[in-house]
Amino acid sequence: MTTPAVKAQPVATVKLLIDGAFVESKTTEWHDVVNPATQQVLAQVPFATDAEIDAAVAAAKSAFKTWKNTPLAARARIMLKLQALVREHMSRIAHTLSAEQGKTLADAEGDIFRGLEVVEHACSIGSLQLGEFAENVAGGVDTYTIRQPIGVCGGITPFNFPAMIPLWMFPMAIVCGNTFVLKPSEQDPLTPMLLAELAQQAGIPPGVLNIIHGGKRSVDAICSHPDIVAVSFVGSTSVGTHVYNLASQHGKRVQCMMGAKNHAVVMPDARKEQSLNALVGSTFGAAGQRCMATSVTVLVGDAQKWIPDIVAKAKTLRVNAGQEKGTDIGPLISKNAKNRVLGLVEDGINEGAKLELDGRAVKVSGYEKGNFIGPTIFSGVTPAMKIYTTEIFGPVMVIIGVNTLNEAIDLINSNPFGNGTGIFTQSGAVARKFQHEIDVGQVGINVPIPVPVPFFSFTGSRGSKLGDLGPYGKQVVQFYTQTKTITSRWFDDGGVSGGVNTTISLK
C-alpha cells in the first residue's frame, strides 16, 4: 500500500466515478500516485468515504432497473464503440500506464491489447448469452433456459495490469446486463480512469459503471455490501483469500485469481534459441510482475548445461525507464516492492543457492531514484528454499535441475499453486504426457505465457484460484448471469383435459 499523503495542490487529483459523473472525493485520506522510475508524484488518489462507496453502489442498483432490460444489440453496439475508442487512444493510454506502473511502452500496449480482446469478445454477447430449447420433452411440453443478469457486481483489480484486468471485468459484466462498481489499485488508478472516460464516450449510461478508490476498507465494503451480488478479484493470494472468505460469508458469487509459481520445463531436445528467448522474455518481462511469469525454470537432463546460455541471454536485456526506447525491463512498482525482492535475493544467497546473475546493483543513468533491479538468476535451487516457495514477483529466475520428465511433473504437481506452466520440447509424445499428467490450469507447449484468448476461459487452478468460474470466456458469462429454466404447456381452445395428475411426472 502507498504511503498516506496530505492533499496538495497543484498536483492533479484522481476523481471518483459515481452515477455518470467524475466527482472530487470529500475524503481526508489521499495517497500519492508515483512514477516508479523517477519518484515524481503524478497525482493523488482519494480513499473513498463510506458515504461515497454507498453512493456508487446505490447508483449501480438504481441503474440496474433499466439497464437489465436494454436489448442485447444495444449493449453489443456500446462494446463495439468501446473497442474502437480503446484502439484509437491506445498510445495515450499506454503512455499513462507506463508512467504510473513502470512497464515499457510495448508491454503497456500489450497490457491494453489483451484487455481489448475481451471487449471484442463482449461484442458477441448475442450468441454468448443464448439459452437452450427442447421441444416436446413430454406431451405438448417444451423446456427452455434463459440467461438473465444478476444485479450489481463488484471488481477489485491489481497494480500489475491496470488496463487488462479492468477490461476483463466490467465489459463482460455490463454487456451481460449487470451494473458494476470497480475498485482499481490505488498505486496506478490513472489508467482505469482513462478507460472509464472512454466507456462513457461509448455510451454506457450513468450508474452502469462506477469507480471508487481506496485500500482494505474499500475492498471490504465491496465484499460485504448487501446490494452487491458478485465479486471478481485478481491479485495476491493473501488478499484474494480474504476477499473470497468475506464475500462468500455475505452470500455473494466470488471468483478470485490469485498468486502463482509458474514452472517452465525444458527438455534436452528443445529448440535452443527459441526456448532461451521464451524463457528470458517470460521471466523478466514487466520486471517479473506478472501472475503468469515464468519464475521457475526446470532443466531436465542435459538441458542443465544451458545455464550459461540462459545467463548470457539475460545479460542482453536493457534496464531503463519504461518510456525510454529500447527498454526491456522497467522499474518495479514501488520502493517497498523493490526492497521485498532484494530481501528474497538475500534469502536465496543465505540458503545456499548459486547466484548466477546479480541484478541488484543495476544503475540507470538519469533515473537514479528508480525502483530498478536487473535480471537475477539462481541455480542449484531446491524446493525447500524460500526463493522457491515464495512468489517473488520481481525479475528473478530460479533454476532447478532434474533428471527426468517424471521428476519435473512431480515437482510441479507438488507445488501449491496451479496458475500456469509450460514445456519446451520437439517430442509430441512428451508434450502429450505432460499436458495429460500436469495438475495446472493453463499449459503451454513451446509457449511461455499460456494465457488463453477470450474464446476460451482463464483456468488457473488449485492455490491460484478460488471459485469455479474464470474471469473471461464462456465461463464468465455463467458467472455474470443466472440461468432460469422454463417448462411450458399450451392448450388449444376446447381441448380435453387429461385429468388430475398427483405425480411429479409430465405426460
Give the residue numbers marked as catalytic. 291
Three-class DSSP category at 250: coil
Residue-wise DSSP of 139-207: TTEEEEEEEEE-SEEEEE--SS-TTHHHHHHHHHHHHTT-EEEEE--TTS-HHHHHHHHHHHHHTPPTT
d(CA 396, CA 284): 7
Three-class DSSP category at 45: strand
Sign of CA dihedral 361, 365, 368, 374: negative
Do 433 and 410 touch, CB atoms closer than 8 A?
A: no
Sign of CA dihedral 332, 333, 335, 337: negative
d(CA 247, CA 225): 9
Do 259 and 293 touch, CB atoms closer than 8 A?
A: no
Of 179, 76, 203, the closest CA to residue 128 belongs to 76
Planar angle of CA 132, 137, 138, nearest 5 degrees: 155
